[in-house]
Structure 1
Amino acid sequence: SGAGRNLDAILLPKVECAAHVQALDLLLTQLEKEHGLDVGAIGIEPQIESARSLRNIDEIATASPRVQTLVFGPADLMASVNMRTLVVGEQPVGYDTGDAYHHILMTILLAARTHGLQAIDGPYLQIRDLDAFRRAAGRTAGLGFDGKWVLHPTQIEAANEIFAPRQADYDKAEMILDAYEFHTSAAGGGRGAVMLGDEMIDEASRKMALVVSAKGRAAGMTRTTAFVPPAP
């Protein structure tokens, strides 16, 4: 109760089913009413940490309007499926092709996107191995995750860098948005597909650019190029 209105969300570990989320929702509602807080303001972040929770992920994601984020809990999930490694986040012994976590990560990501939630990767426990942390974070950032837990201050800068777009990608995204807005307008000819340099851009390009642009703006990035409409 001391945190009061400063409390944004609560991580809920070991979630197995919707009932676990709903129980916390009820408890939070009771506490909010008791302490005069806005009912429903405190979010819930379920952590997906077992085979059962992964199977029940859609019902977990929709168990309460408070659910904001789906979080991957790698260590417990690895134990749940009997994965043959003791290094959290690393490939198991004998798995020499592909990524042993790809199905898990994509299941969490697709559920999050389906239900309008954030997808957050879990921690990398070897805190002194920053290169390995970067490798693990780069994997989930590339898939489309919104962020990753950090366990040590040395991981913060790396995480911020990896989950923000590269400057060239941010500049290109903003350029696509400006160019598409101009060319689809009456002044630009009202066209639905146009060329930007050697690349055709259309509505799908705009949607992809919006993702990169939003992440860049959230990271406080400033564009270094500007779109100049072609002369009439």
Structure 2
Amino acid sequence: MGQGQQEQVSTSLAGAVSEEISASLAPVDAELERRYPGDPGTRQPVHTVYVPGDVFAADTVRSWGEKALTALDRHAPDAASFAAVLGLSDELAEPVYARVRAKLEHEPVEDLRVDFEDGYGPRPDAEEDESAARAARLIAEAYQNGTAAPYMGIRMKCMEAAVRDRGIRTLDVFLSGLMAAGGLPEGLVLTLPKVTYAEQVTAFARLLEAFEKAHGLDAGRLGFEIQIETSQSILATDGTATVARMIQAAEGRATGLHYGTFDYSACLGVSAAYQASDHPAADHAKAIMQVAAAGTGVRVSDGSTNVLPVGPTAKVHDAWRLHYGLTRRALARAYYQGWDMHPGHIPTRYAAVFAFYREGFEQAADRLARYANRAGGDVMDEPATAKALSGYLLRGLDCGALDIGEVARLTGLTRADLESYAVPRRGDLTVSTH
């Protein structure tokens, strides 16, 4: 048969067969759209900083940046010394160090949670009321005057009987204070801790729904993170994955799953000396969280380390190496967010994040450019890989590891182009263009 000869096409099935199949799968199509909408395409912070409700102040964000810079000046005053501590290559040493210092000066905290749970503890009602009202006022003022972190909010007490009423009241005081100060900021985040049953998630969703109705807000305006800190949140009594049920129980309001390193470890009986985010029990929990959240638009966050970089330089360096290593480990496992508990942690948080994106930047840019231009190479990439490559570059841009100019220079793509690959339409990931 000649190369230019037109093929004869024939079929055997009537058109009605396809229509009947489509009709039978219509409910499944609707379920896929509802339950697995895909990533929202918005910025995900690289960390969450927790500050007790009685400690939070108007200058907290700036203070954390200043303290982190002081720690750098004292324990790693230049790129070479910082790189030596963390094992950064000569190629990465200067750009990472310079970007870390710039980040600490201009945006030291990406996500801040004013804590009214473990970090705050039980207090007289009048005192907690005042702290919650104060947090609302200070956060509203920060967004109004441009000093806020990109994301800010509170962690209330959980929905268990002993503290439920107190947690509900704190949330009400805080949200009402924001409304009185001008409305809910775009970067508002709420965290529900110590969830054990999906019904608690639904109850919290109802609570937020009631607040929206009371203030005439759009339905679904308030979302929240679910903190995974108990064995029951991973595996239910019937052997099913509770965390997957919790995502659905939130009725579209769940925005994140945050792993609680120490509560979860203690729940499983892990000795205090071995409670860490790289413990096998932690890996198991986060793997289940990751699979349950995939495709739902709910993002997963790693936990924290309680080893603080304080004291003499040698001790600080040891803590920095530990934190850097745990952060790099999490990034490789696609946990792009974690918790930071001390200002001394954020230099190594950003060092790990910036090194992660910069060291793989050129290869990712080259692969995505070849994919976009349908050019050959030593790797045959599929649409799913293009999604991962563009997502990698976008996260690098959002945190400050990369600049749009260098990304555009190597890929030939705009940010809008990257976003179109990172958040494709349903079905685009199943058909290769190669």
TM-score (norm: length of structure 1): 0.80
Q: CA deviation at 1:114?
A: 4.1
Instruction: Indicate the structure with greater helix content.
Output: 2
Q: Once structures 1 and 2 are overlaid, which stretch shifts more, 103-112 or 30-39? A: 30-39
- CA separation in 1, counterparts of 2:273 and 2:391? 35
Specify which of 329, 340, 352 is matched with residue 162 of structure 1.
Answer: 352
Q: CA deviation at 1:116?
A: 2.4
**Kindly tell me: are residues 146 and 81 of structure 1, through their superposed partners in 2, closer, same or farther at Cα, counting changes over 3 Å?**
same
> Is the counterpart of residue 25 in structure 1 residue 209 in structure 2?
no
Q: CA deviation at 1:53?
A: 0.4
Q: Once structures 1 and 2 are overlaid, which stretch shifts more, 203-212 or 105-114? A: 203-212
Query: Could you tell me which residue of structure 1 aligns to residue 264 of structure 2?
Result: 77
1:117 maps to a residue whose letter is: V
**Kindly tell me: are residues 114 and 201 of structure 1, through their superposed partners in 2, closer, same or farther at Cα, counting changes over 3 Å?**
closer
> Is the counterpart of residue 226 in structure 1 residue 426 in structure 2?
no
TM-score (norm: length of structure 2): 0.45
Query: Could you tell me which residue of structure 2 aligns to residue 12 of structure 1?
Result: 192
In the alignment of these two chains, the number of paired residues is 211
Query: Could you tell me which residue of structure 2 aligns to residue 174 of structure 1?
Result: 365
Residues 51-74 of structure 1: per-residue CA shift (max 9 Å, x gap): 110121100122121100000011
> Is the counterpart of residue 2 in structure 1 residue 193 in structure 2?
no
Runs of 4+ aligned residues of structure 1 deviating over 4 Å after TM superposition are: none
Query: Could you tell me which residue of structure 2 aligns to residue 149 of structure 1?
Result: 339
* Correspondence list, 1:90-129, <5 A: 99-128=280-309, 129=319
Is the Cα contact below 8 Å between 1:74 and 1:123 reproduced in 2?
yes
Is the Cα contact below 8 Å between 2:368 and 2:386 reproduced in 1?
yes
C-alpha RMSD of matched pairs (Å): 2.3
- CA separation in 2, counterparts of 1:100 and 1:14? 17
Residues 163-210 of structure 1: per-residue CA shift (max 9 Å, x gap): 354313123222222211111xxxx6xxxxx31xx4444434323312
Any stretches of 5+ residues in structure 1 without a counterpart?
Answer: 93-98, 189-193
**Local SS of the residue matching 1:216:** helix
Q: CA deviation at 1:87?
A: 5.2
Q: Once structures 1 and 2 are overlaid, which stretch shifts more, 126-135 or 70-79? A: 126-135
Q: CA deviation at 1:21?
A: 1.0
Percent of aligned pairs with the same amino acid: 24
> Is the counterpart of residue 67 in structure 1 residue 249 in structure 2?
no
Q: CA deviation at 1:75?
A: 1.0
Is the Cα contact below 8 Å between 1:89 and 1:136 reproduced in 2?
no
Is the Cα contact below 8 Å between 1:47 and 1:73 reproduced in 2?
yes
Specify which of 219, 243, 255 is matched with residue 57 of structure 1.
Answer: 243
Is the Cα contact below 8 Å between 1:45 and 1:69 reproduced in 2?
yes
**Local SS of the residue matching 1:116:** coil
Higher relative contact order (CA 8 A, sep 6+): 2
2:283 maps to a residue whose letter is: H
Query: Could you tell me which residue of structure 1 aligns to residue 329 of structure 2?
Result: 139
**Kindly tell me: are residues 158 and 42 of structure 1, through their superposed partners in 2, closer, same or farther at Cα, counting changes over 3 Å?**
farther
**Local SS of the residue matching 2:361:** helix
**Local SS of the residue matching 1:205:** helix
- CA separation in 2, counterparts of 1:19 and 1:11? 16
Query: Could you tell me which residue of structure 1 aligns to residue 389 of structure 2?
Result: 209
Is the Cα contact below 8 Å between 1:17 and 1:60 reproduced in 2?
yes
Is the Cα contact below 8 Å between 2:224 and 2:253 reproduced in 1?
yes
Larger radius of gyration: 2
